[in-house]
Amino acid sequence: MIIQTKVPRAAKKSKAKVPVSDLNLRRAANRLLGGASLVCTEVSYIQRELGSSATQEELDAQVVAVRKLPWASIVMPE
């Protein structure tokens, strides 16, 4: 009798990058902040920090974190 078993491989999955767009940020904020939306200054800050693309986990973390930051650190100095 031959018993075949699967050998577990290292969990090395590549994370897909998503664009850091207004729509994706609005959807993430709606999902994570219970329907609250981000103001344009918060959106600009997240886009500056993450660049043009990021993983969904990075995007989610930044959306939650931006609400805890002091306003002076979010606003671009003129």
Asked whether residue 10 carries a pLDDT value surpassing 70, the answer given is: no
Whether 9 is in a domain gets the answer no
pLDDT band of residue 69 (cuts 50, 70, 90) is very high
Quote the domain boundaries for residue 23.
17-71
Question: pLDDT digit string (tens) for 35-57?
Answer: 889 999 999 999 999 999 999 99
Report the percent of the chain where pLDDT is more than 70: 87
Q: Is residue 24 part of a domain?
A: yes
8 in any annotated domain: no
Nearest by Cα to 50 from 77, 78, 28, 72: 28
Looking at the domain assignment, is residue 12 inside a domain? no
Counting the structural domains of the chain, the total is: 1
- Tell whether 25 is covered by a domain: yes
Tell me the whole-structure pTM to 2 decimals.
Answer: 0.77
Residue 10 lies in a domain: no
Which stretches of 1-78 are assigned E, i.e. beta strand? 17-19, 53-55
pLDDT at residue 51, as a whole number:
93
User: If we measure between CA atoms, which residue out of 66, 41, 51, 61 comes closest to residue 21?
Assistant: 51
Give pLDDT, residue 3. Answer: 72
